């Protein structure tokens, strides 16, 4: 279904969410060339079997690095028709850098961002530091926020008098950060994220095993947030959800895959 209007039709997809592989497959189905950027080797595994033009692994450091990639693409193959920013909702730095770089370069960019889930049984908080002011003394609190700010969360919970537990990804960096936050090995669960709502039995069992009173997660949308809402509802656990940052710098934001393809494929 590739339109002759686009010719070579090449998209650069930057992704840090579970929707990334599906986005890549759909563009390939439409006959587009696809180059993908992911942060980790683990994230790259889902793309290994796809006929991509390129699969880049690692953090892109700054606006100039992005412009260099855009320049090189223009020299090698006439550049990209679109940049699709499907990075994590809380990955503010890369999103802002992409917006700045693409504006300077005159590159079309679309920000894909999951719709915000209705947190019908949760308490929305602006940031992790707020936890220190909440009535959590003596409660067992599970941090399910990834590892980047785990130390901030652990400090705030200890200031509130809570017992800190953590769920982190099975990556060396994540484990090191959890330990650096002074969380004992006995209170760290090393698990991959939810694959679907039918795969929440491990986390549900973990909450029971540790007698968890509260869970802290992020307003990331998608399966992860929905799963924690389901577990908290079933087990009568308090759920604190950190508000998603506002990406006000993004000019074009879409909330589902259908909207992306309506914009780029005519």
| Span 103-116, pLDDT tens digits | 999 999 999 887 77
Q: Give domain status of residue 60, yes or no.
A: yes
CATH of the domain at 64: 3.40.50.1000
Are 127 and 234 part of one and the same domain?
yes
For the cut 60, the answer to whether the pLDDT of residue 237 exceeds it is yes
Q: What is the mean pLDDT of the chain?
A: 87
Does residue 69 belong to any structural domain of this protein?
yes
Give the E-state strand segments of 33-161 in sequence order. Answer: 33-38, 54-57, 82-86, 109-112, 123-125, 140-143
Of the pLDDT bands very low, low, confident and very high (cuts 50, 70, 90), residue 68 is: very high
The per-residue pLDDT for 2 is 37
Residue 5 has pLDDT above 50, yes or no: no
| 16: nearest Cα among 175, 224, 252 | 224
The CA-CA-CA angle for residues 183, 186, 187, to 5°, reads 50
pLDDT at 195: 60
- Containing domain of residue 28, as a range? 10-115+246-264
Q: Is residue 3 part of a domain?
A: no
- What value does the mean pLDDT take over residues 199-216? 91
Residue 119, pLDDT score: 63
Q: What is the mean pLDDT of residues 12-39?
A: 89
pLDDT at residue 188 in the model: 96
Given this model, what pLDDT does residue 17 score? 67
Residue 215, Cβ neighbours under 10 Å: how many? 26
pLDDT of residue 138: 97
Region of residue 222 (left: phi > 0; alpha: psi -120 to 50; beta: else): left
* DSSP annotation string for 31-53: T-EEEEEESSHHHHGGGTTS--S
């Amino acid at each position: 279904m590739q339109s002759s209007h686009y010719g070579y039709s090449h998209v650069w997809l930057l992704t840090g969410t579970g929707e990334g592989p599906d986005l890549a497959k759909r563009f390939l189905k439409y006959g587009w060339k696809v180059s993908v950027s992911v942060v980790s080797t683990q994230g790259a595994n889902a793309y290994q079997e796809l006929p991509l033009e390129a699969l880049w692994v690692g953090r892109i450091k700054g606006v100039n690095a992005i412009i260099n990639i855009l320049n090189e693409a223009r020299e090698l193959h006439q550049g990209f028709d679109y940049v699709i920013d499907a990075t994590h909702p809380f990955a503010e730095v890369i999103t802002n850098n992409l917006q700045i770089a693409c504006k300077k370069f005159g590159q079309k960019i679309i920000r894909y961002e999951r719709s915000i889930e209705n947190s019908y049984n949760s308490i929305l908080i602006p940031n992790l530091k707020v936890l220190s002011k909440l009535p959590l003394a003596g409660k067992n609190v599970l941090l399910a926020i990834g590892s980047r700010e785990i130390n901030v969360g652990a400090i705030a919970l200890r200031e509130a008098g809570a017992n800190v537990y953590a769920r982190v990804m099975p990556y060396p960096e994540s484990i090191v950060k959890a330990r650096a936050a002074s969380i004992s090995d006995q209170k760290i669960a090393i698990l991959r994220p939810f694959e679907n709502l039918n795969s929440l039995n491990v986390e549900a069992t973990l909450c029971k095993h540790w007698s968890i009173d509260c869970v802290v997660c992020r307003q990331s949308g998608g399966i992860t947030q929905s799963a924690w809402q389901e577990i908290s509802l079933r087990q009568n656990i308090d759920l604190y959800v950190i508000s998603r940052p506002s990406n006000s710098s993004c000019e074009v934001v879409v909330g589902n895959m259908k909207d992306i393809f309506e914009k780029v494929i005519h």
